[in-house]
Amino acid sequence: MEALVQASQDALSLLFSGDKELWEIVGISFQVSLLALIIAIPPALLLAFALAYGQFVGRRFLIALFSTMLSVPTVVIGLTLYVLLSRQGPLGEWRLLFTQTAMMLGQITLAFPMLVSIGHSALQAADRRAWETARTLGASRLRALLTVTYEVRFGLLAAVLASFGRIISEVGASMMLGGNILHHTRNIPTAIALETSKGEFAQGIALGLVLLVMALALNVLLHHFQGKGYVGS
């Protein structure tokens, strides 16, 4: 118990003293995950929209496929991309393994099905009259899409925040694809895993606190926006 208290005190000290290494790890985490999310959102939203409003062969299969992909373990995604990106793999010539780009690819692969699946649910629950009214009032498909997106923005924001929470805290894919290299590919979850395996808990607790505060902030943000969406407000 005493060790835990001491580790927690050290963790707070690391956080508030502005420990360079610790905040660099936090920075890499946010940089990689935010970029991965920004890259994944537009195609995922378009696909979610096509699944919600389109009528084409294989639509139901795709919906089931993306729902299934939500439960694929991150290490399996890490392993698949590792095989593809390793020197003997078909994408080995890209020399991306153990880079931030490889981590980003892993996180995009993780975020994409979540954005599609939750985004599709939000768009499907949207009032179909929104799309039809936009179209009948002369809006182009793109403008109608943006209009409906705005109408269901809280549902879509939930998809974005849930996806961000998933990718910034995943350890399997980042560890396998990034290699946990200090100053380059070490992010919050891989650093926590390493420090814990060494028996050094202070930095792990400090980074865990950052993740917890971030999760709390994201949820407060979501509830704040949802509160504004109240019909009577």
Tokens of 50: 């096509």
Q: Which is nearer to another protein, 138 or 199 (CB)?
A: 138
CB of 137 to another protein, least distance (A): 5
User: Please, are residues 204 and 6 in contact by the beta-carbon 8 Å criterion?
Assistant: no
Identity of the residue, 53 or 94, whose beta carbon is nearer to another protein in the bound complex: 53
- 143 or 198: CB nearest another protein: 143
- Cα end-to-end span (Å), the chain: 49
> 67 vs 147, which CB is nearer to another protein?
147
Q: How far is the CB of 132 from another protein (least distance, A)?
A: 6
Task: List, as one string, the DSSP characters of 169-216.
Answer: H--HHHHHHHTT-TTTT--HHHHHHHHHHHT-HHHHHHHHHHHHHHHH
Count of Cβ atoms closer than 10 Å to residue 91 Cβ: 15
Radius of gyration of the chain (CA): 20
Residues that bind another protein (CB under 8 A): 127, 129-130, 132-139, 147, 150-151, 231-232
Q: Which amino acid is at 214?
A: M
Amino acid at site 11: A
Smallest separation (angstroms) from another protein to the CB of 152: 10
At closest approach, how far in Å is the CB of 128 from another protein? 9
In the complex, what is the shortest distance from the CB of residue 217 to another protein, in angstroms, rounded to a whole number?
Answer: 25
Nearer to another protein, 19 or 151 (CB): 151
